[in-house]
Structure 1
Amino acid sequence: MKKLEKIDLFDFRLENGKQRPYIPLFYQTFGQPIGSAPTVVVNHALTGNSNVSGENGWWNDVIGAEKIIDTNYFTVIAFNIPGNGYDDNFGNLITNYKDFSIRDVARIFWEGLSFLKINDVFAVIGGSLGGAVAWEMAVLKPNAVHNLIPIATDWKATDWVIANVLIQDQILNNSDDPIADARLHAMLLYRTPQSVNQRFQRNKFQDSSVFQIENWLANHGIKLKNRFRLSAYKLMNHLLKTNDITRDRGNFLTVVNDIQGNIHVIAVDTDYFFIPEENRETVESLKPIKENVFYHEIQSIHGHDAFLIEFEQLAQILAPIFNKQKQNHYVSA
């Protein structure tokens, strides 16, 4: 695994006006040295982290040598959302999780990039929660992101998302086994009835009376409990509710029109969490005022999690974006 690096941020004022005297920002880099190649920022999802490539990399099918996001050509940077616990330092966990917003996270990431002397990036890409942070990053610095690539996400929290965040928060604060129980509910948001029914077909687990679907869900709960912290789960879940790039800024078209880079919205046709209809409406509303906005859709039975499953489709969507940059480089060279 690539070594975790740390940036110390001091006297950071949150969106709600509260002051954080110190925030440690942990990150990992992959591929080419910083400053020597185009930069790609990868934002992790709710239970993810900065380890996007290499040993135990959660996006190895997309990021790496000779992959779509080619580490032989690009510099890849992935930050950990502060408080996600990936640094394994209990002192860096956040208890006052409702003080933070996605906008705070995006500002923190830009602070980190500024520290690294990176003023603009070839792409910001992320799925789910990470894609929401990507939207906010592009709005904060509309001239600094050449390609905004939000996947299986949205620029705002819909009522459906807010409702499910509340359910998750209630489970996390009231269950006797909060991480595992919250994960049971979450997994059914991330998949579809068709995916679950096709996979398990009402079969029992070995010779027991337990259904395979029950065993599968229980194992997901146990696995997450073994690698995730309760305070991290509460924070990441809460952040989803705070997603809104128009808050205190004006209407959507005015806000997004300032973004100069290409916008590639990638949805999943069966996503029951960030529904594709919302993404289609976003793109259709932007087309009259922006020529460089594009809609892509992953076709999958698996629902929201398809962005972590349907790698071949995702690679086909991403290939023209990243290969064009490489081709331009080789032609000019």
Structure 2
Amino acid sequence: MINLKHITIANYATESGKTTSLNLSYQTFGKPLHTAPIILVNHALTGNSNVIGENGWWNDIIGENKCIDTNEYTILSFNILGNGYDNKAENIIENYKDFTARDIAKLFALAIEELKIQHLFAVIGGSVGGGIAWELAALKPRLIKHLIPIATDWKSTDWVIANCHIQDALLNNSSQPLVDARMHAMTLYRTPESLTQKFDRTKKDESFFNIESWLSYHGNALNDRFQVAAYKLMNQVLRTIDITRDRNDFLDVASKIESDIHIITINSDLFFKADENWNTFVELKGKKENVNIHEIKSIHGHDAFLIEFDQLARFLKPIFKAEVTSVKKKLEQQVA
């Protein structure tokens, strides 16, 4: 595993009251730690810390001279606990229901302290990664300058919880759990219009439609690279996003977050609905001025944040270019 580093969190007490020692793995890219503004990138459900480079899942957004420029920033990315990316069997979590999204955010916060990071320029993540970003901001309201949750929400809605419940049933009861759970999930990540545009009822052969072949391919591909225990834990994290649990109401919690909040939603997202994000924006804007919202226009649904790179870059560039310009001005002033 290229440049995979590890932090041990000893005697961690979960939200459910269990105490355990855990190993958190991570990668860094771009400038060395503590030499440039730090951006924490949270991966999605079946993703990992390999943000850029060979097999990097966000090469279109992050890299040299790209929207998030690795010549100017340090990129930090943790693997969500138990996702299996380190290929160490001892780090797989079987008791997945002991953990919540807030646990993952707490573990990230402890690792950030271990790395002696006192400030993050930005935290950005899509889907469950964005939910963890919300949880981290609620835990550490002064840590992050720019909070950028994409295709996500500060809570798992009833709709998200319902589909996670179905996923959990498939993962525990199916004879081919990863294949079946992944096929079901892929229909949530796209839209009917997206699938029509891609396949238009064409057939692979006399008895097999191309949409069926595509779903089977994604199911089998995940089966080859992922583990059931990892998927169960990721699904559990997804269903437990809620920055208000055992706290006050949303406005009270979110208004304490000092970060500039940049919500990025997708008009066709059938999983984390755009209406929920717009309601969050309107509600929070009444109490907190530095809240913004952008909407990706796409027929591709939830997965649009991994497809519509031009639109996403257009929303992100002002955030990251402004910091680079500011730093360069300060250096010029120091030289002068």
Q: What's the offset of the Cα at 1:176?
A: 0.3
Q: Which residue of 2 aligns with 1:223?
A: 221
Deviation at 1:106, TM superposition (A): 0.3
The aligned counterpart of 1:52 is: 51
How big is each residue's C-alpha offset from its partner over 1:224-270, in whole Å with a ceiling of 9 and x where there is no partner?
Answer: 00000000000101111111000111011110111111000000000
Pairing of 1:120-199 with structure 2 (within 5 A): 120-199=119-198
Is this contact kept in 2: 1:83–1:93, CA < 8 A?
A: yes
For residues 14-163 of structure 1, what are the structure 2 equivalents within 5 Å? 14-20=14-20, 22-163=21-162
Q: Aligned to 1:249, what secondary structure does the other structure show?
A: coil
Give the aligned residue type for 1:155. Answer: W
Q: Which amino acid aligns with 1:141?
A: K
Structure 1 CA distance for aligned equivalents of residues 119 and 78 of structure 2: 16
Alignment partner, residue 298 of structure 1: 296
Contiguous gaps of at least 5 residues in structure 2: 332-336
What does residue 266 of structure 2 align with?
Answer: 268
Aligned to 2:200: 201
In the TM superposition, residue 208 of structure 1 has moved relative to its aligned partner by 3.9
- In 2, distance between residues paired with 1:209 and 1:139? 51
Matched, 1:312 2:310: yes
Instruction: Work out whether residues 2 and 30 of structure 1, in 8 Å CA contact, stay in contact via their aligned partners in 2.
Output: no
Partners of 1:122 and 1:60 lie apart in 2 by 20
Once the two structures are superposed, residues 7-51 of structure 1 have per-residue CA deviations (whole angstroms, 9 ceiling, x without a partner) of 11100010111101x100000000001011000000000000000
Match of 1:211 in 2: 209
Shift of 1:119: 1.2
Q: Deviation of residue 69 (structure 1)?
A: 1.0
- Provide the C-alpha distance between the structure 2 equivalents of 1:330 and 1:139, rounded to a whole number of angstroms: 31
2:239 matched residue in structure 1: 241
Inter-partner Cα distance in structure 2 for 1:149 and 1:103? 17
CA separation in 1, counterparts of 2:137 and 2:237?
17
SS in 2 for 1:119: coil
Counterpart Cα distance in 2 of 1:299 and 1:65:
27
Partner letter of residue 319 of structure 1?
K
Q: 2:4: which partner in 1? A: 4
What TM-score, normalized by structure 2, do the two folds share? 0.97
Q: Is the partner of 1:122 in helix, strand or coil?
A: strand
- Cα RMSD, aligned residues only: 0.8
Give the Cα–Cα distance (whole angstroms) in 2 for the partners of residues 228 and 71 of structure 1: 29
The count of corresponding residues between Structure 1 and Structure 2 is 331
Q: Secondary structure at the match of 2:120?
A: coil
Equivalent-residue separation in structure 1 for 2:201 and 2:287 (angstroms): 50
Deviations 1:146-193 (A, max 9, x none): 000000000001000010000000000000000000011000000000
Deviation by residue 1:197-246 (Cα, 9 ceiling, x = unmatched): 111011111x4421000000000001000000000000101111111000
Query: In structure 1, what is the Cα distance between the partners aligned to 2:317 and 2:126?
Result: 17
Identity of aligned residues (%): 56
Aligned equivalents of 1:33, 1:326: Cα separation in 2: 16
Q: TM-score, normalised to structure 1's length?
A: 0.98
CA distance in 2, matches of 1:15, 1:175: 29
1:103 partner letter = R
Q: Which letter does structure 2 place at the counterpart of 1:13? A: A
> Residues of 1 paired with 2:137 and 2:66: CA distance?
25
Aligned partner of 2:301: which letter? G
Distance, in Å, in 1 between the alignment partners of 2:227 and 2:16 is 25
Q: Quote how far apart the aligned CAs of 1:2 are.
A: 3.9
The amino acid that maps onto 2:92 is L
Alignment partners' CA distance in 2, 1:2 and 1:278: 38
Asked if the contact 1:28–1:51 (Cα under 8 Å) also holds between the matched residues in 2, the reply is yes
Whether contact under 8 Å (1:2, 1:29) holds in the other structure is: no
Counterparts of 1:257 and 1:200 in 2: how far apart (Å)?
45
SS of alignment partner, residue 144 of structure 2: coil
C-alpha deviation, 1:68, in angstroms: 1.0
Amino acid at match of 1:223: A
